Amino acid sequence: MADATIAPEDLRLLLGPRTRRGIRAWLHDGIAAAVRDGRLSAGVRLPSSRAVAAGFGVARGPVSEALELLTAEGYLITRERSGSSVAPSAASVRPARREATVRPPPSPGTPDPALFPWSSWLRAMRSGSARLGPDDLGYGDPRGLPALRERVAELLRLTRGAVVEPDQVVIISGVAQGLTLLATVLRARGAGPIAVEDPGSPGARDSLCGIGATVVGVPTDELGIDIDRLADEAGAVIVTPAHQYPLGVPLDPDRRRRLLDWAAGRLVIEDDYDADLRYDGRPIGVLQAMAPDRVVLLGSVSKVLAPGMRLGWLIPPPHLHAELVAAKRNADLGTSVFDQAALAEFLGSGEYQRQVKRLRQVYGERRASLVAQLRERLAPDSFDPDPGGYQAGLHLLVPLPDATAEERALAFLADRGIAAQGYRSCFFGTGDPGIILGIARPIAPTLVSALAAAVHGPTNPRVVRTE
Ligand SMILES: Cc1ncc(COP(=O)(O)O)c(C=O)c1O
């Protein structure tokens, strides 16, 4: 269509039906969109404002205004006597490729949204916001609101045995932000590679690699990370000691001690992502309590409330505190004060702990029922869905006999919109087959039966029951 003139009736078709926003906005938005998505290409001449007005049966004034605005914005060039045409540079306004959505794959470790405590959270938002004053509305302390730091310190001391004062707490937007802040600070210090558990969380590994950190995997088994395989040159290690992701085991007590010895002059990053949720006893206390000078503690509300809230905390050792606060300030100048005020209120009123108690009950039952169903419906020789029997968190690792079984299971679950992760994706190199299933949302027994059939193939006699 380059260098052609578009007739008023063709322009009319291109613009589609009139909107309620007036002639000027209809013409402006429609032509701009057509230029952006390539329906009007560079060089195409537009009819004069007089011709458009006459052809469309509208006043000339708003047509001229729309064309002038499009010219000012760079979509059109207008020359005296030759009228307006699509600017050659306007093609660059067009995105290279239109993405349908920017949604990450669903994570199996997500809480059941049906259990979100809407009414108490809305109450907390209202009363928390009402406590904010004019000074809170500016760029505040990047560590976060004092009221929230106090509540978080109290919670961590009480429930996790952490050694922490409110001044040390830095409010962040989830463990994920904590990891990238730490990686940034460690790189600035020239601290060496960051060691991570292998198998471990692919999300943590990918976000560190995404910001250019050097990440090395450390073999991890049913006792947790293998301290003997921790490289000397690593400057820090990220561990999930209360509930290893994805194996679901706590770090062995002897390895806990040896890890802290290794950490002299280095840093242990304790990802305490789901530790509140233990179903068969008290949650294991944090490593940070044993060595607050070499462990940084990270946690969030993602598992107890909702990952979409993007609220968490970071408790650094004193020698890293100032650098991490500066990194947080550089990253985003602090977390939303309204969200922080609501969480302070939610913690202070005891609602958070009530929610934890409720979830322990509900998720504990759902987990036990899923384990029982998996045991019953899949042959016992192929896997044990709960080898350590440590009942905690939102996910369950289900080892499978081979890669084909993993692929079949993932395809089956994806078709039904059930979040699951392939176990092999948790390894640096070649990994064992299996799937990681969420326990938070109930999974119907018929679905577990169908999953078993899908995993083993329809004719395999190892499927012991299918309904
Ligand atoms: C092991 C582990 N660490 C960290 C995170 C991220 O947590 P947050 O939502 O607090 O950023 C997740 C999320 O599922 C996780 O599984």
| Alpha-carbon dihedral sign for residues 308, 309, 315, 316 | positive
Q: Is the CB of 176 under 6 A from ligand 1?
A: yes
Q: Is the CB of 174 under 6 A from ligand 1?
A: yes
Same domain, 195 and 336: yes
pLDDT of residue 37 exceeding 90, the answer is no
**Looking at the domain assignment, is residue 105 inside a domain?**
no
pLDDT band at 97 (very low <50, low <70, confident <90, very high): low
> To test ligand 1's pocket by mutation, which of 170, 225, 273, 423 has the most ligand atoms within 8 angstroms of CB?
273
pLDDT of residue 461 exceeding 90, the answer is no
Question: Which element (helix H / strand E) includes 217?
Answer: strand 215-221
- Which residue is closest in CA terms to ligand 1's atom 13? 109
Domain boundary among 353, 376, 400: 353
**Looking at the domain assignment, is residue 302 inside a domain?**
yes
Q: Is the CB of 202 under 6 A from ligand 1?
A: no
Q: How far apart are CA 234 and CA 191, in angstroms?
A: 8
Ligand 1: centre distance to CA 176 (Å): 6
Ligand 1: centre distance to CA 166 (Å): 23
Same domain, 312 and 209: yes
Q: Note down the domain range covering 376.
A: 361-456
Same domain, 154 and 220: yes
Q: Is the CB of 302 under 6 A from ligand 1?
A: yes
**Looking at the domain assignment, is residue 12 inside a domain?**
yes
Among the listed residues 159, 243, 235, the one whose alpha carbon sits nearest the alpha carbon of residue 195: 235
Same domain, 347 and 325: yes
CA 432, 437, 440 angle in degrees (round to 5)?
155
For residues 399-419, give the mean pLDDT. Answer: 90
Ligand 1: centre distance to CA 107 (Å): 10
Among the listed residues 267, 270, 298, the one whose alpha carbon sits nearest the alpha carbon of residue 174: 298
Ligand 1: centre distance to CA 71 (Å): 48
Same domain, 120 and 260: yes
**Looking at the domain assignment, is residue 122 inside a domain?**
yes
Domain boundary among 324, 353, 382: 353
For residues 378-406, give the mean pLDDT. Answer: 83
For residues 339-356, give the mean pLDDT. Answer: 98
Q: How far apart are CA 281 and CA 285, in angstroms?
A: 12
Q: How far apart are CA 243 and CA 248, in angstroms?
A: 5
**Looking at the domain assignment, is residue 467 inside a domain?**
no
For the ranges 76-90, 185-199, 361-375, the lowest mean pLDDT is seen at: 76-90
Tell me the pLDDT of the chain averaged across its residues. Answer: 90
- What CATH code is carried by the domain that includes residue 195? 3.40.640.10
pLDDT of residue 340 exceeding 70, the answer is yes
Q: Is the CB of 201 under 6 A from ligand 1?
A: yes
Same domain, 48 and 148: no
Q: Do the beta carbons of residue 32 and residue 70 sit within 8 Å?
A: yes
Same domain, 256 and 349: yes
**Looking at the domain assignment, is residue 16 inside a domain?**
yes
Ligand 1: centre distance to CA 426 (Å): 14
pLDDT at 282 (0 to 100): 85
Ligand 1: centre distance to CA 311 (Å): 11
**Looking at the domain assignment, is residue 3 inside a domain?**
no
Q: Is the CB of 244 under 6 A from ligand 1?
A: no
Same domain, 340 and 396: no
pLDDT at 386 (0 to 100): 79
Same domain, 127 and 238: yes
Examine residue 199 and say whether the peptide bond preceding it is cis (omega within 30 degrees of 0).
yes
- What CATH code is carried by the domain that includes residue 19? 1.10.10.10
For residues 231-247, give the mean pLDDT. Answer: 95
Same domain, 233 and 371: no
pLDDT of residue 466 exceeding 50, the answer is no
pLDDT at 226 (0 to 100): 97
Q: Do the beta carbons of residue 178 and residue 186 sit within 8 Å?
A: no
Same domain, 412 and 312: no
**Looking at the domain assignment, is residue 102 inside a domain?**
no
For residues 276-290, give the mean pLDDT. Answer: 93
- What CATH code is carried by the domain that includes residue 417? 3.90.1150.10
pLDDT band at 456 (very low <50, low <70, confident <90, very high): confident
Ligand 1: centre distance to CA 417 (Å): 21
Count: domains in the chain: 3
- Which residue is closest in CA terms to ligand 1's atom 12? 273
Domain boundary among 298, 331, 353: 353
Same domain, 183 and 251: yes
